[in-house]
A and B are shown apart, each in its own frame.
Chain A
């Protein structure tokens, strides 16, 4: 379904995750973050960039992996994206949330 985010029609799924990563932009990210009561800082964007790189290389994400990435440690990851950091940060990053086969 389509949703207007940052003035543009963006294809999202029922949970609000972008269906097409090419439609992502920092402005889209800011609005998605605002809906989650988050103010995006450059620090948030550094983590988002890391997550997007993992998505491009089709590497599965886990909290432990993010913590070992050298980009951010686990404590800070939870501070930047409280309440289910992987769920929230991936939505802001315009990538699918971590999923399994079903």
Chain B
């Protein structure tokens, strides 16, 4: 029996398990998937949890519910990958050999990379919402918070779901308005980039949202430390921003397994061919989702589009056929703007988000780069699609793997 191993049973790993078990000969290929966790989280839900829009039980299900029959789920912590000798070593010393390895180990927050972030105020007045526990702790804080300076902050790029901090600021504006306390809160969005928006079409279309929602922007802020005593963040250039409540996205790093295995860059992302998804250093290793260093966004939709192309390439690899250089960096993401509205963006490596209709050109029903209630309903409906279609590898009708130019308004 030949062996294929998938490391990580998050969004990307689970999709690959489902795709590959369907396509690969059961009599020839044994498929294993390894993860130390029991829970599978619907991560887009972490944005809604702090505002009591979702409940915890809405966004967590057992990992094994989504692993298909014929794929062995191994629960355990990986120690490291020996890429030269083609095996994975577990912390309990078990060894699993592979003929093909798929790395889907994702990305994690690393607050310890910033001096003081993990300090006395962590989870008291300094929170993250990129983890289930972080989002829950923040929910508890926001339920009783009486107001003050709310600072929504990004440490450094790349982060997974780069729009989520902005969505958080938008939802916070609505949340406090609903509670009749918006005037008691000052919301400031702090970014290392040169603005809340960095692409020209998006800037023109959306900049008004910031002033409408009275969200202040502090840009080009490269955080050096968190001063827990005086409740302020300080950047390398000496700028200081004080806060009463800091919601930060810490540095995002790939899994430490990647570092231990000597397979990653300085942020533990695996160098990957951006069009084929094959590892740049090892022919029989492929990388999908947040764990790779491809210049696409770290987002679930990207992993979904990657999964179809990667499946095809695994099959080609097995048959010694040349790999398809087809992945175009396609991402498709909803952005909550508050008050029951959202917008949708659809883009790839070479095309920035522009206005238009999706998925049917001219008809929609979703509008690109424009706020609508339909888009917001789409975002909420997506949770059902995630649990019932996406994870199982069921194709989504009318949504192509590569970004479509039809229906979009380019100049």
Query: Interface of A with B (CB < 8 Å)?
Result: 13-14, 58-65, 67-68, 74-75, 78, 84-87, 97-102
Contacts and interface: CB of A to CB of B under 8 A. Distances in A.
Interface stretch (B126-134, B172-180, B199-207, B307-315): B199-207
Interface stretch (B73-81, B145-153, B157-165, B398-406): B157-165
A86 B156 CA distance: 12
6 contacts: A63-B236, A65-B156, A68-B266, A78-B237, A101-B345, A102-B197
A43 to B, nearest CB: 18
A68 B293 CA distance: 18
A58 B237 contact: no
A102 B265 contact: no
Contacts of A78: 236-237
Interface string B206-245: 1000000000000110101000000000001100000000
Nearest to B203: A102
A98 B220 CA distance: 10
Interface in B293-341: 293, 295, 297, 331, 333, 335
B347 interface: yes
A78 B157 CA distance: 19
Contact of A64 (B156, B194, B274, B293): B156
B353 interface: yes
Given A63-B222, A74-B236, A101 B163 contact: yes
Interface SS, B side: loop
B347 A100 contact: no
B371 to A, nearest CB: 14
A83 to B, nearest CB: 8
Contact of A101 (B192, B220, B265, B297): B297
Interface residues of B, number: 35
Nearest to A61: B157
Nearest to B113: A64
A100 B274 contact: no
B193 A99 contact: yes
A13 B200 contact: yes
Most buried by B among A65, A84, A101: A101
Contacts of A63: 156, 192, 222, 236
Contacts of A75: 236
Most buried by A among B200, B220, B347: B220
A85 B158 CA distance: 18
A98 B199 CA distance: 10
A87 B222 CA distance: 12
A98 B237 CA distance: 18
Contacts of A67: 236
Contact of B194 (A59, A60, A84): A84
